[in-house]
Chains A and B, each alone.
Chain A
Amino acid sequence: MKVILILLFIYANIMAAGKEGDKATSFSLQNLYHLDKKVSFDAYKGKVVLLNLWASWCGGCQEEMPLFVKLQKEFQGSDFSILLSSIDKDSKNAVDFLHDIDPNNLLDALYDSEKTLPKAYRCIGMPSSYLIDKNGKIDTVYVGSIDEEKLVTLKAKIKSLLRK
């Protein structure tokens, strides 16, 4: 009986969605703008990262993207990066969308054709964003699009993580 309960507990933990306090999943994905180049999560070691899982076909993702550009501009020159991971079937759709929103490529963009990150994080909604601290731990999970209201608390959290 105990064994079954332990197995059930382990199973439930394995199947659980990525949550605050968990270690962020390491990855090596294609650069969205240069598909022949790979980007590794290790390159962001010691940085505060907002990892955003998005797709050009997702309405909520489209809504929040201009806010991310604004946010990255505000933290330009600091140890904070917004990392977009597109799961579009065709990377061109994601590039075309970002070309209008972020013409100067302020946001770091990845292409996750195999949807490895949403699977690893067991993402329960699109878009999903994960604020990751300098030690690579998930500080906050945002499911659904980030609006102006959430942006205020997000900025405060980023500032606090940058000070640590």
Chain B
Amino acid sequence: MYKILMIVSLIFFSGCSEKLVRVMPYEKEYFAQDKMSLSPVADRAEQEGHVFLIREASAGGESAFQGGCGCR
């Protein structure tokens, strides 16, 4: 019973692996296109982009890494 539980857990956690649930950084070409920007207004886009980076930092951000604190 214990072994079955372990195997089921292993399969379950594999399903949650980050490779499956998020777009890998080298697959973000379409996200980098202008039409995918958060705002068509240039002034706002920079600020919204900053917020986006803070939010997404733990998952690799847009291109460079941050700690997620928003202090950079």
Contacts and interface: CB of A to CB of B under 8 A. Distances in A.
Interface of A: 1, 4, 7-8, 11, 15, 53, 55, 57-61, 87-89, 115, 118-119, 123-127, 143-145
A87 B25 CA distance: 11
18 contacts: A1-B6, A4-B10, A15-B19, A55-B29, A59-B32, A59-B63, A60-B63, A61-B63, A88-B29, A89-B29, A118-B24, A123-B24, A123-B25, A124-B60, A125-B61, A126-B26, A127-B63, A144-B65
Contact of B25 (A7, A89, A124): A124
A13 B59 CA distance: 20
A87 B28 CA distance: 11
B41 interface: no
Contacts, number: 64
Interface in B8-45: 10, 14, 17, 19, 24-29, 32-33
A57 B2 CA distance: 49
A143 B63 contact: no
Nearest to B17: A15
A103 B26 CA distance: 26
Contacts of B29: 55, 57, 87-89
A125 B10 contact: no
Contacts of A55: 26, 29, 32
A53 B26 contact: yes
